[in-house]
Amino acid sequence: MSPPVRAKISALGTYVPPRLLTNADLEKLVETDNQWILERTGIRERHIADKGVATSDLAVEAAKKALAERGLTPSDLDAIIVGTVTPDMLFPSTACLVQHKLGAKGVWGFDLSAACSAFVYALQAGAQFISTGAHKRVMVIGADVMSSIIDYTDRATCVIFGDGAGAVILEPAEDSLGMIDFLHEVDGSGGCSLYMPGGGSLNPSTHDTVDQRMHYVHQDGQAVFKFAVRKQADACEKILQRNGLKGSDVDVFIPHQANRRIITATADRVGLRPESVIINIDRYGNTTAGTIPLAMETARQEGKLKKGDLVLLAAVGAGFTVGVTLLRWAC
């Protein structure tokens, strides 16, 4: 048997819908204020899709940019994995819709549900196809239209989320760059802290589920916050330790953007250098599966992400799901 091949990210593309929802806009919808939102979350504004624009539309735009960056056509891909919690519909999968809209003939794919950890989980799922030699090019997309499941009368959730997408292409690495290690964990006992109760097989859609606002995100903010602060740092420490690394060795820390305070708490505990920490939550809010590729793009635009850099990705999300990836940036 041939030894496993290392997967690398060979291209990145991102997309956010143009319409902005600012803190000032939210002040008109619910009892909140700019200062509270900024201090408690770090968010100034988020992008919101227009009516009729779905997750697959954002995903396709991001995918096209990644393909163009690498000079590939859609049919050059072997598979498309879409991490999302807001699929266009329950089925067919958003991956099927993206495959069709891209015109990626002969390419297969599937959706992956892990909420805010979906991008890191999908990244590792895709990397396994490269590692085994089964595939040469896998597109991994994180995309969400969170505004489609947010209750804009609930001030505790509506200030947090936004819409956005990011796509990367995975290919075999010929050098020592690419994936180094990953650590994933779920704790299903946290399911009741962040969830959308309506529309699945347990509570199929009825007038009653609509009346009871069951098709919106429900969150125990403090429970999620406490879990995220503890587990994100634990997972980062564990993966660094088992690779003989310290926080200060990380060149670029690209965390899920859920709350600025969760990110800085992780950075402090893990001993990350402040300049290595990528934060763009102020501009996008929490785009769920979109945050990490969007933050990769921010790092790149700020000149902080260069070939060979040691990168640590980290996410905690509904489930609870936890995922960290250690890699060397390769494009």
The residue ranges that bind ligand COA (CB under 6 A) are 32, 36-37, 40-41, 116, 155-156, 159, 194, 221-222, 224-225, 228, 258-259, 286, 316-317
Spatial CB neighbours of 6, under 8 Å, sequence gap ≥ 6: 131, 172, 173, 176, 177, 178, 179
Instruction: Please tell me the distance from the alpha carbon of residue 106 to that of residue 100, in angstroms, as a whole number.
Output: 10
Residue whose CB is less far from ligand COA, 199 or 221: 221
Nearer to ligand COA by Cβ, of 34 and 203: the residue is: 34
Q: In 10 A of CB 318, how many CB atoms?
A: 22
CB of 130 or CB of 289, closer to ligand COA: 289
Out of 96, 116, 158, 331, which one is annotated catalytic? 116
Minimum CB distance to ligand COA, residue 127 (Å) = 22
Type of residue found at 300: R
Q: Output 32 or 113, the one with its CB closest to ligand COA.
A: 32
The least CB distance from residue 240 to ligand COA, in Å, is 22
CA distance 50 to 300: 28
| C-beta of 171 vs 234, nearer to ligand COA | 234
In order, the DSSP letters of 288-330 are GGGHHHHHHHHHHHTT---TT-EEEEEEEETTTEEEEEEEE--
Beta carbon nearer to ligand COA, 77 or 118: 118
- Our answer to whether residue 256 is catalytic in this structure is yes
Beta carbon of residue 314, minimum distance to ligand COA (angstroms, whole number): 11
- Rounded distance between C-alpha atoms, residue 289 and residue 266, angstroms: 19
Active site residue 184: no
Q: Which is nearer to ligand COA, 172 or 221 (CB)?
A: 221
Peptide bond into 204 cis (omega under 30): no
Catalytic: which of 23, 259, 280, 286? 286
Q: How many residues does the chain have?
A: 331
Catalytic residue among 158, 256, 259, 331: 256
Shortest spacing between CB 197 and ligand COA, in angstroms: 16
For residue 28 the two structure tokens come to: 């008109």
Q: How far apart are CA 128 and CA 6, in angstroms?
A: 9
Which residues have CB under 8 Å from 242's CB, separation 6+? Answer: 181
Contact 139, 167 (CB under 8 A): yes
What lies within 8 Å, CB to CB, of 275 at 6+ separation is 304
Strand extents, DSSP E, 105-233:
108-112, 138-145, 163-172, 178-186, 194-195, 218-219
**Which residue is at the shortest CB distance from ligand COA?**
221
CB of 157 to ligand COA, least distance (A): 7
Beta-strand ranges (E) seen in the chain are: 7-15, 20-22, 45-47, 79-83, 108-112, 138-145, 163-172, 178-186, 194-195, 218-219, 252-255, 310-317, 321-328
Give the Cβ contact number of residue 223 at 10 Å: 14
Is 116 an active-site residue? yes
List the catalytic residues.
Answer: 116, 256, 286
